Amino acid sequence: ETGVTQTPRHLVMGMTNKKSLKCEQHLGHNAMYWYKQSAKKPLELMFVYNFKEQTENNSVPSRFSPECPNSSHLFLHLHTLQPEDSALYLCASSQRDLTDTQYFGPGTRLTVL
Amino acid sequence: EDQVTQSPEALRLQEGESSSLNCSYTVSGLRGLFWYRQDPGKGPEFLFTLYSAGEEKEKERLKATLTKKESFLHITAPKPEDSATYLCAVQALNAGKSTFGDGTTLTVKP
């Protein structure tokens, strides 16, 4: 595998379910990010991790819980989501921080029923 | 607050018909302006970073230019495979995250 991979690619869940999104980067980068992309809206940065430490949380509701066990892996744990949380969730990585070029994964298309 | 406005929202071209996409921005000191290409169902793919007014970068049929207020992505003799959504983003000197525009969806008909 090369670049940034995400699983699953598609996810349908009920509002009471608990699920997790997974991201893995094979680029040797030290920073990883979660973005939300909704229809007709710009990309929204959700979380920033540098060297496994969370350095930014852009007022994201607590029903989204990130986890970064090492510099190559990033998870987004989901629980009690709302229908308006349906979107494309993108993972990205960069060499050091947000000033570096970001490389995106293919995304997870999430639908909350 | 940093702002990015892309126009047009959608652009339909015939194969070979050159055109330009616009990205207007306001930012308190520009660190960099980024162009990405996004295909349906995929994540954005990095194209260019521009840092200062007057800078230009080229890649195949694409050429990005930058002024103090806007950036253009010129597409010369486009092909159907150039069809995608093109995203522009700016990063301010005093901010970590980038501000993205809504994108321009380009469709090139054969």
Report CB contact under 8 Å: B43, A102: no
Note the pLDDT tens digit of each residue in B56-87.
999 999 999 999 999 999 999 999 999 999 99
Contact list in B for residue A43 (CB cut-off 8 A) is: 44, 87, 89, 100
d(CA B34, CA A47): 20
Q: Cβ A58–B49 below 8 Å, yes or no?
A: no
Concatenated DSSP letters of A27-65: S--SEEEEEEE-TTS--EEEEEEETTEEEEE-S--TTEE
Question: What is the model's pLDDT at position A12?
Answer: 95
What are the angstrom distances between the C-alpha of A100 and each of A69, A107, B34, B60, B103?
22, 20, 11, 23, 21
Question: Do the Cβ atoms of A60 and A109 come closer than 8 Å?
Answer: no
Task: From chain A, pick out residues whose CB is under 8 angstroms from the CB of B43.
Answer: 4, 6, 90-92, 104-107
Residues on chain B touching A107 (C-beta within 8 angstroms): 41-43
pLDDT score, position A1? 57
Backbone angles phi, psi at B42, to 5 degrees: -130, 165
Question: Hey, which residues 57-76 in chain A have their CB within 8 Å of chain B?
Answer: 58
What pLDDT is stored for residue A69 in this prediction?
94
pLDDT tens digits, B12-54: 999 999 999 999 999 988 999 999 999 988 899 999 999 999 9
- Whether the per-residue pLDDT at B98 is higher than 70: the answer is yes
